[in-house]
Structure 1
Amino acid sequence: MATGRELLSDEQVQRFIVEGYLELPPCGDGITSPGLAFHEGIFNAALALGPEAEARGNNILPELPELVNVFESPQCKGALTSLLGPGYMMHPHRFCHKSEPGRQEQRWHRDTYWGHHHARSHCPYWVMALYYPQNTPLELGPTGILPRSQYFNRDQGRGHEHFGNGSFTSAEVAARRCWDLQARSLACPAGTIILIHYDLWHAGTANVSEDCVRFMFKFQFSRMVSPTKAPCSWICQNRTAHWQRFLEDEAAATPTEASHSGLFHYDVHSSSEGLVPVWQGVWDWMCGAAAVRTDAHTNNNNNSSTNSNNNTNNNNNDDVHMDLADLVSRLKEGDDANEPRRVASAWQLGRLAAGQAGLIAEVLAELHLDSANACQARAVSQMLVAIGPSALPLLLECPLWRHSPAVVHALGRIVDCCCERSSRFAAQKVLSDYLYAGSNCDDVRNCAAEALGCTEEQAGAWTLLDVLAYDPVADVRATACHSLLRLLEAGCMDDCLEGVRAAMLAAQKGDDNRYVAAYAAEGAHRIDHKLEALKRGDRSAMAPAPVIRWCSHGDGWLASDRRLGD
């Protein structure tokens, strides 16, 4: 297969930011990309597996290794590079979903983060790819989605899940009573790939056909490089985004779609305009901006010699504090129905406080991080990410963040877009000291290990190697290994590759968790590729194709252990 890439346009990236998904229509010519015969072959091979198609679990890739050609095609590689930056990684979790006649629709849900749980991010760190090898009309039960839902969490009824991973029992509850969204069924021709934001709410719809089987192969991909190092990884022709066209979009669903899919359809939710700061913030982040900036409500520190200027400044300060009080109160609102207001307020607060240490301290004090509930802590995390690097000094000095997984998660996301080496080094030291000191909270250790992977500091690698070897919790070890892969891709371990490779091989053979072993295998594979490139004097070699290996730890999808998918 060809190794070229077909990058996305500005409009496509902006549409993904707003809608949460992007459809890649089949365009295979059979030479550079898979053609129709290829897709038919995949369908027939999956059909021949019978019940084993789903039972293979993560091992569906080594069972059908030709699947890698779907995701290595120029179209798919270009789209994933555009959304996740260069060097992205194929996650070791994947699944073949089989829908037979009579299958009922699923609950609305979002997938868990397989191998390591962490707080969900508005910015695209993870993307899911849904591949359909056969024509999938509405009768076959295509995947249903709630466009624009990727920024919203559900807390009520979430059970044991940590990070807003509840589910809805019906489309009506999800679409009308909570967020007033419009559901859509992704009917598509054979060979289509749907890329969705990992946190987009979705569900498998009912298969109402008489005798047709539908397969959907779900693969996951994660970002390895900060957008500050690889900004605008698509064909960027204009860094000024235009969101008005998305506000004017009308519902595309038809009554026919609704009747076949069993989904409820409503007008586009009225809160779209409030999400513009979120869209703009994600766009700025993907363009490599170190912080979300706004010209509104900035403090004027110049001493003016005129009374009129002084009066203007005083009025602006009054407006700032009125806005602060209103936005902070929205962050404290409870229940799922208020989630759109919380999300919009978090980003508006971030834009308001960016670069203003006094306002940041005032907001953090008002929000009482030590007693915040799950939805409030998540909103604080989103606000801190929107503020950007100017929030780092307070976070590094304040002991309260050490007890909040959401805030530790935000620290890592902020560091990921911090251009100052001194700040990254300071964050690395605080996070390393904290991990070595230990914590009874697995989630905090998990988020700290994740944050270390964003520091681009070699010293953090030694901490992560110790976590990989000794932490008793598999999720934390898996996150540490994933963070080591990020540091590897950042190029900050080039002078210690052999030692890291030995540690990866030891984890691959000795760890009893399937995802730790899989990450370690991918790490050793990438290090081998990099060592060969360095021998040639090539320090800019692209990441290799994903390693294809059989997982000996079991499939992880036994009936007693099955989680939501599709």
Structure 2
Amino acid sequence: MIESNYLLTDEQMMQFITKGYLVLRNELPNQLHQSIMNQINHVMHNEGNPGNNILPRVPDIQQLFDTPTVKGALSSVLGPDYYMHPHRHCHYNQPGNETPGGGQWHKDGYWSSMRSHRPWWAMIFYYTHDITEDLGPTAIMPGTQYYEKFIDEQGETLLPTGKAGTMVLVHFDLWHRASLNVSPLDRYMLKFQFLRLRAPEIPTWNHQSKEMIVPEGTPATHLNLWQDVWDWLRGERLIKQDNNSTSEKRLLSLQINLESEDPTVRGRSADELGQLGAAASSCAPSLGNLLNDPVETTALNAAYALGHLETQGINTLISHLTEGSTLIAERAAYGLQAAGDEAIPELLRVMKHADEKRRALAAFVLGMIGSSAGEVTSTLISSLQDESEWVRRNAVEALGMIKNADESIVLALAKVLKDSLRSETNDASDSNNQTAKTSYVVSQRYITNKIGYTAALSLLRTGHVGDVREAVSSLAEALHSQDRYVRAYAAEALTHLRTAEAVDILIRYYRSSRWCPDTSKTSTF
């Protein structure tokens, strides 16, 4: 149990929500950081970058993530049962790095079929040594975690610095890059990824105030988006305000401003209309038009505003989800996520849409809402037979996010996982060529069995429900998947289940897969 004084405060949580990062100061002695750096230096120069094996190669690194400071921060953002993802990497920035600017601005490759604004994922950047701007720390652009497009010079570049042991906790989708190392020293940064195993039911930080207080210096204003994340993390829905007193004159003014040539004016007006809730429902068509706004920040505000306009907002979002371009449909999906349970009946209808993109987005939203109300579970299970891999994968992930999962979900996921493992025996190149027309399928090449990967993750989240024998059976087979991440998830899921059979399977598996961190190409015994 983490002591409460190590959990984040409301102010820190709001900084993470609005700016996408927090700098953590680790309490471990400098001698440990120096030892870790020396070990990494030896490995990098004598054996090369160990990639995902950096932790077993330098086991002392685990001490960093076992400190109350780090566990408290991750528990606050991702819940107390968060999971360290098997992908981790040592970023080595050599002196005199000649790459212009030190690297390109980017988001990390994501592990789901669509990026989530809500923090299901996070990353930590750890520096083994004192980090100054001269050493080329990883640059971040605060507040950009919700943007698909890079905002370039419109954003602020921040170079987090500090003493050895400095850690930067970032929203998984924050734009970042390596900066130029102009020092004579090597710069090492360890990147570790973490994921949430279940949707929040209560706040898991030192929560004091229900009111969302936006910190100063936020790079943009997304009140409805931030409110959605804040309330979701608190395990609560937005409390609808009685705004019947809003004057017709004010509504008309805001609606006119939605057509302003200034995107900032358009965006702020959309945000304010969302704060008014159903009282602004007459503005839904105008907000719907902004889903195609060339300025992404404005379009996001319109999407989340519509999500707060109840029936009129939901109908407008559904219309754009089913009839708009792919970009517009994706933006509408985020707005429907904010609408919550009230959007479920319409989303279930979209699950029968002729276009795979619309069905896939509807499944994504149902997972983000996380409710098992009505026919959600049965519809998602039926979608596991969909002809589209994108739809099937979104349904698999959505089933793992259902808050009140039942045994039918576990059985369905176990079958999907086994079926995906059998498909690995087929000629992978032929399989990929058959579906290459779908851009979704040919992306994320680091996941070779996308359905199996997602099914194993969903079983990690839900496999404990009901009779776990089928889950254990499928996970045992998955330990021998051709996909390294399927194997990793399967091992972790079996560890979580801890039945006698699961433990026996793991013991036999680990006997043949144990990594010796002291063995290298120079070892003789």
Give the TM bin, normalised by the shorter chain.
0.7 to 0.9
Return closer, same or farther for 1:280/1:52 CA change in 2, 3 Å cut-off: farther
2:127–2:188 CA contact under 8 A, matched in 1: yes
Structure 1, unaligned runs of 5 or more: 29-34, 155-167, 169-173, 250-267, 300-315, 534-546, 553-566
Map 1:376-525 to 2 at 5 A: 376-398=328-350, 399-400=352-353, 403-404=357-358, 405-415=360-370, 418=371, 422-423=373-374, 426-436=375-385, 438-439=386-387, 441-455=388-402, 456-471=405-420, 472=423, 474-488=449-463, 491=464, 493=465, 495-509=466-480, 511-525=481-495
Q: CA deviation at 1:54?
A: 5.6
2:123–2:169 CA contact under 8 A, matched in 1: yes
What secondary structure sits across from 1:120 in the alignment? coil
Q: Partner amino acid for 1:516?
A: V
Q: Partner amino acid for 1:240?
A: E
- Of the candidates 162, 165, 174, which is equivalent to residue 200 of structure 1? 174
Equivalents in 2 of 1:297, 1:144: separation in Å?
A: 46
Q: Partner amino acid for 2:17?
A: I
Quote the residue 1:175 is aligned against.
152
Percent identity of paired positions between Structure 1 and Structure 2: 31
Q: CA deviation at 1:26?
A: 2.4
Q: CA deviation at 1:503?
A: 2.0
Quote the residue 1:263 is aligned against.
none
Return closer, same or farther for 1:236/1:322 CA change in 2, 3 Å cut-off: same
1:412–1:454 CA contact under 8 A, matched in 2: yes
With structure 1 as the length reference, what TM-score do the two structures score?
0.73
Q: CA deviation at 1:196?
A: 0.2
Q: Partner amino acid for 1:506?
A: E
Q: CA deviation at 1:117?
A: 3.6
Equivalents in 2 of 1:185, 1:349: separation in Å?
A: 36
**Larger relative contact order (CA 8 Å, sep ≥ 6):** 1
Map 1:123-134 to 2 at 5 A: 123-134=118-129
Quote the residue 1:91 is aligned against.
85
1:86–1:225 CA contact under 8 A, matched in 2: no
Q: CA deviation at 1:74?
A: 0.8
Map 1:335-354 to 2 at 5 A: 338-353=295-310
Equivalents in 2 of 1:529, 1:393: separation in Å?
A: 38
Map 1:235-384 to 2 at 5 A: 235-243=206-214, 245-246=215-216, 249=217, 269=219, 272-273=220-221, 275-290=222-237, 293-296=240-243, 320-334=280-294, 338-353=295-310, 356=311, 359-365=313-319, 367=320, 369-384=321-336
Q: Partner amino acid for 1:175?
A: D
2:348–2:362 CA contact under 8 A, matched in 1: no
Equivalents in 2 of 1:25, 1:106: separation in Å?
A: 26
Quote the residue 1:556 is aligned against.
none
1:59–1:550 CA contact under 8 A, matched in 2: no
What secondary structure sits across from 2:345 in the alignment? helix
Equivalents in 1 of 2:7, 2:492: separation in Å?
A: 25
Quote the residue 2:440 is aligned against.
none
Q: CA deviation at 1:41?
A: 0.8
Equivalents in 2 of 1:205, 1:548: separation in Å?
A: 42
Q: CA deviation at 1:377?
A: 1.8
1:226 aligns with 2:221: no
Q: CA deviation at 1:55?
A: 2.8
Q: CA deviation at 1:428?
A: 1.3
| CA deviation profile, 1:182-201 (whole Å, cap 9, x unmatched) | 11111221001110000000
Quote the residue 1:22 is aligned against.
22
Quote the residue 2:12 is aligned against.
12
Equivalents in 1 of 2:281, 2:416: separation in Å?
A: 43
Q: CA deviation at 1:238?
A: 1.2
Return closer, same or farther for 1:279/1:459 CA change in 2, 3 Å cut-off: same
Equivalents in 2 of 1:391, 1:91: separation in Å?
A: 32
Q: CA deviation at 1:548?
A: 13
Q: CA deviation at 1:237?
A: 1.2
Q: Partner amino acid for 1:109?
A: H
1:139 aligns with 2:134: yes
Return closer, same or farther for 1:54/1:200 CA change in 2, 3 Å cut-off: farther
Return closer, same or farther for 1:70/1:144 CA change in 2, 3 Å cut-off: same
Quote the residue 2:158 is aligned against.
184
| CA deviation profile, 1:257-302 (whole Å, cap 9, x unmatched) | xxxxxxxxxxx74xx23x1211111111111114564444799xxx
Equivalents in 1 of 2:16, 2:500: separation in Å?
A: 32
Return closer, same or farther for 1:50/1:320 CA change in 2, 3 Å cut-off: closer
Return closer, same or farther for 1:12/1:321 CA change in 2, 3 Å cut-off: closer
Equivalents in 1 of 2:344, 2:336: separation in Å?
A: 9
Equivalents in 1 of 2:493, 2:157: separation in Å?
A: 39
1:81 aligns with 2:54: no
2:243–2:277 CA contact under 8 A, matched in 1: no
Q: Partner amino acid for 2:235?
A: G
What secondary structure sits across from 2:452 in the alignment? helix
Structure 2, unaligned runs of 5 or more: 247-275, 424-447, 504-509, 516-525
| CA deviation profile, 1:492-514 (whole Å, cap 9, x unmatched) | x2x423442232122112x1001
Q: CA deviation at 1:457?
A: 2.4
2:143–2:174 CA contact under 8 A, matched in 1: yes
Return closer, same or farther for 1:22/1:225 CA change in 2, 3 Å cut-off: same
1:111 aligns with 2:108: yes
What secondary structure sits across from 1:135 in the alignment? coil
| CA deviation profile, 1:235-259 (whole Å, cap 9, x unmatched) | 111111212x42xx2xxxxxxxxxx
1:53–1:98 CA contact under 8 A, matched in 2: no
Return closer, same or farther for 1:523/1:321 CA change in 2, 3 Å cut-off: closer
Equivalents in 2 of 1:131, 1:359: separation in Å?
A: 43
1:65–1:548 CA contact under 8 A, matched in 2: no
Equivalents in 1 of 2:303, 2:47: separation in Å?
A: 43
Map 1:143-158 to 2 at 5 A: 143-154=138-149
Q: CA deviation at 1:58?
A: 0.7
With structure 2 as the length reference, what TM-score do the two structures score?
0.79
Q: CA deviation at 1:371?
A: 4.3
Equivalents in 1 of 2:108, 2:46: separation in Å?
A: 22
Return closer, same or farther for 1:295/1:90 CA change in 2, 3 Å cut-off: farther
Q: Partner amino acid for 1:194?
A: V
